[in-house]
Amino acid sequence: MNISPHTTLLQWYEDYGRHDLPWRTNPDPYAIYISEIMLQQTQVKTVLERFYFPFLERFPTLNDLAEADLDDVLKMWEGLGYYTRARNLHTAARQCNGKLPDNAQDLLKLPGIGQSTAHAIAAFAYCEPLPIMDANVKRILHRYYALTERNDKKLWEYAYKLFDAAHPFEYNQAMMDIGATICLAKKPLCGFCPLETNCRGKTAPLTYPASKAKKIKPVRFRNIIVYQKENRYALIQRRTRFLSGLWGFYETQEKPDTPMKPIGEITQNYSHFTLQAHVYLCMESFLPEGYEWFSVEEIAQLSLSRADHKVVSLL
Ligand code: SF4
């Protein structure tokens, strides 16, 4: 007799699921929302150890987040990266008027919430019967159905096909846990997997999906000029799309023709490029428009990118 994958999955979740993750024990939809946004591009361990609790302590409710200054939100997000998430959270909180929508369709209207995140919040906070599809779940589906093609639209059909609508919370949590602990990207542990019986890809899991052509990340070479006046340094709050809202030092492709002292180099990896920069100290009184002067103590209160933190450590 072939036991249903739902039965084995539920049993596995009961026995081995990560039940003690705080966003699984706290039913507050707002806390679930925060965790889902943090987990979009960040590992569980990092979110758990450094960001989830301090953020909720600082902004315990949706209203607290809505009423906060964006600068404060960015400061609490500092180090988590992908700052658009923080800006969208802040905008969404202001749109919500104190109450998070209680269904996926309305959650999808908020900035920063795509289909999988809307389904996750709706399933975990309100038990709405919807499957999720984060990177881990995608990998399982590709393997379980032996799919080589990467096609998200079709994959959603498979997500619904395998989904256990009677247990949306447990099913989705189990799928995330299997993806994180068993159906691993490089070394799947099929012998321990509750989906093994019916998994079509288990004999060659690494072939599903077909591997992507490797992209070489471009390197951006820049000069970072730290303008100094007495014991104060010049920074600007960025208004560009990338790192918008964060404070940073003067950055330029061309090295200005002014006397400057080299103080070091920094490298920072971003998802779509690597920054390599020479850092200079400049005592010129000339200051590009929009910059403001700060002491080191004041800089510590600003939200900075990792690259700019590296510059501060050179001062
Ligand atoms: S049997 Fe193996 S390949 Fe299939 S879902 Fe489980 S871990 Fe992944």
Q: Residue 288 has what pLDDT? A: 79
Q: Is the pTM of this model over 0.95?
A: no
Q: Per-domain residue ranges for the chain?
A: 5-138+163-183+190-196, 219-314
Q: How far is the CA of 5 from the centre of ligand 1 (A)?
A: 12
At residue 174 the predicted structure's pLDDT band, cuts being 50, 70 and 90, is: very high
Nearest-atom index, ligand 1, CA of 143: 3
pLDDT digits (tens, 9 = 90+) for 8-42: 999 999 999 999 999 999 999 999 999 999 999 89
At residue 285 the predicted structure's pLDDT band, cuts being 50, 70 and 90, is: low
At residue 1 the predicted structure's pLDDT band, cuts being 50, 70 and 90, is: low
pLDDT digits (tens, 9 = 90+) for 37-92: 999 989 999 999 999 999 999 999 999 999 999 999 999 999 998 999 999 999 99
- Residues serving a catalytic function are 36
The pocket around ligand 1, CB under 6 angstroms, is made up of 140, 143-144, 182-183, 188, 190, 193, 195-196, 199, 201-202, 205
Q: Is the pLDDT of residue 139 over 80?
A: yes
User: What is the end-to-end Cα distance of the chain in Å, rounded?
Assistant: 69
What mean pLDDT value characterizes the chain? 94
At residue 247 the predicted structure's pLDDT band, cuts being 50, 70 and 90, is: very high
Q: Is the pLDDT of residue 241 over 90?
A: no
Q: Which of 140, 200, 206 to mutate to test the pocket of ligand 1 (most atoms within 8 A of CB)?
A: 140
Share of the chain above pLDDT 70, in %: 99
The mean pLDDT of 263-286, rounded to a whole number, is 92
The mean pLDDT of 125-132, rounded to a whole number, is 97
Which is more confident, 69 or 242?
69
CATH H superfamily, domain 5-138+163-183+190-196:
Hypothetical protein; domain 2 (1.10.340.30)
Q: Which of 182, 203, 208 to mutate to test the pocket of ligand 1 (most atoms within 8 A of CB)?
A: 182
Report residue 111 as tokens.
């900035």
pLDDT digits (tens, 9 = 90+) for 151-167: 999 999 999 999 999 99
For helices 70-77 and 84-96, angle between their N-to-C axes, nearest 10 degrees: 140
Q: Residue 151 has what pLDDT? A: 95
The correct answer on CATH 3.20.20.70 for the domain covering 219-314 is no
